[in-house]
Amino acid sequence: MYSMRFSDDTVKDIMNRFRREMENGLGRDTSPTATDKKQPVQMESQVYETPDDIIHGNGTRLFGHVADCLGDFMEKQNIKDKKLPVGFTFSFPCAQTKLDEAVLVTWTKKFKASGDYEADIMAVVNDTTGTMMTSKYPKQLTAP
């Protein structure tokens, strides 16, 4: 399979084109009848390390670690008691069983969590969306 590898200049060009198209699509002049106009958005993020014993351990511990990290982040943001929509990017190969459901095929990226994950474990969302939302653009101008 062909691997997509781009130079830093190409990635920056793609980012600039994408941003320009987003601006055009959300602008008042290009979408005068749209009900959702471009609004300022603030996003906070935190990177959490996953210890090797969790990466290679039981799947229940892995997902527990993810939940603990989310709880810690919510506490730091003083939003632990609020009901908020939350998304989770699961960047592992999955077999899509329905339009919005998939099952894990295999672990990758050093992960070897044990357990039976044949059941549906996620709603399918394009991984690009999750990557884009955490890229810290425009502070970071290189590919993640």
Catalytic residues: 109, 127
Q: Which two tokens stand for residue 139?
A: 């502070």
What are the Cα distances from residue 22, in Å, to 4, 25, 116, 141?
23, 5, 41, 17
E-state strands within 3-121: 94-98, 101-104
Burial class (CB in 10 A: 0-12, 13-18, 19+), 102: buried
Gap between the Cα atoms of 142 and 144, Å rounded: 6
